[in-house]
Chains A and B, each alone.
Chain A
Amino acid sequence: SAVISQKPSRDICQRGTSLTIQCQVDSQVTMMFWYRQQPGQSLTLIATANQGSEATYESGFVIDKFPISRPNLTFSTLTVSNMSPEDSSIYLCSVVGGTGTSGNTIYFGEGSWLTVV
């Protein structure tokens, strides 16, 4: 399985500010995703991070609020813009596994826990 590192692991942010979360993978992966998990809730897919092109966003998520970059096959960033307390969540990076049976699964980072005050 791929090893996924996210930074920051935790942060407390002021409302109205923006924060960029980084996701680094220890191997090249074809597909990367960003999820959000609000307090006490399940995970919701924000977008697919596409290498070399604009991210593909799910319904309810827009690029102005959650700009995503993916400059290469091992790295992506998610920015949470103009934050409000409702953005307090865990943000998780995930990637599709390698070849063989593991190629059918995705793996998650440990998440970035953001609190907006």
Chain B
Amino acid sequence: DAKTTQPNSMESNEEEPVHLPCNHSTISGTDYIHWYRQLPSQGPEYVIHGLTSNVNNRMASLAIAEDRKSSTLILHRATLRDAAVYYCILRTSGTYKYIFGTGTRLKVLA
């Protein structure tokens, strides 16, 4: 199973953009890149996913490197409610077996 590497923690000021990086150098051509976040005392919440092209939704944007060996989750304006652990996960097309890494704990400063 392909693995991902993320920084253990990051800090951001409220109202500022946040760029959360993820390295996945062993990604295969059929692996989707998924991002989830886990707020305190809750189950993981779907954020966004993509394959090759950059993706936008109401929660965030996903920027995928041209060689697909890395990606960045972008929160355009961090709020205190965005404080959570963010997980970058690879999912092989046709399967739903998710391998969670350690994630990045995002702290948002008021």
Task: Tell me the A residues contacting B by CB distance below 8 Å.
Answer: 1, 31, 33, 42-45, 48, 92, 94, 96, 104-111
Q: Which of B13-21, B44-52, B74-82 forms part of the interface with chain A?
A: B44-52
B52 to chain A, nearest CB (A): 14
Output the residue of A43, A44, A110 with the most chain B CB within 10 A.
Answer: A43
B34 to chain A, nearest CB (A): 7
Name A's interface SS.
strand
Task: Tell me the B residues contacting A by CB distance below 8 Å.
Answer: 32, 34, 42-46, 49, 87, 91, 96-103
Q: Is the Cβ of B103 less than 8 Å from the Cβ of A42? A: yes
B25 to chain A, nearest CB (A): 20
User: Which B residues lie within 8 Å of A45 (CB)?
Assistant: 97-99
User: Which A residues lie within 8 Å of B100 (CB)?
Assistant: 42-44
For the complex, give the distance between the alpha carbons of A31 and B87 in Å. Answer: 21
Can you pick out 12 interface pairs between chain A and chain B where the beta carbons lie within 8 Å of each other? A42-B87, A42-B102, A43-B100, A45-B97, A94-B43, A96-B96, A104-B49, A104-B91, A105-B34, A105-B49, A108-B43, A108-B44
Closest A residue by C-beta to B51: A104
For the complex, give the distance between the alpha carbons of A48 and B103 in Å. Answer: 23
B100 to chain A, nearest CB (A): 4
Name B's interface SS.
loop
Closest B residue by C-beta to A92: B43
User: Which B residues lie within 8 Å of A94 (CB)?
Assistant: 43
A72 to chain B, nearest CB (A): 19
Q: Is the Cβ of A108 less than 8 Å from the Cβ of B87? A: no
Q: Is the Cβ of B43 less than 8 Å from the Cβ of A111? A: yes
Given contacts A45-B99, A107-B46, 6 further A-B contacts (CB under 8 A): A31-B96, A42-B103, A96-B96, A106-B46, A106-B96, A109-B43
For the complex, give the distance between the alpha carbons of A108 and B42 in Å. Answer: 9
User: Which A residues lie within 8 Å of B45 (CB)?
Assistant: 108
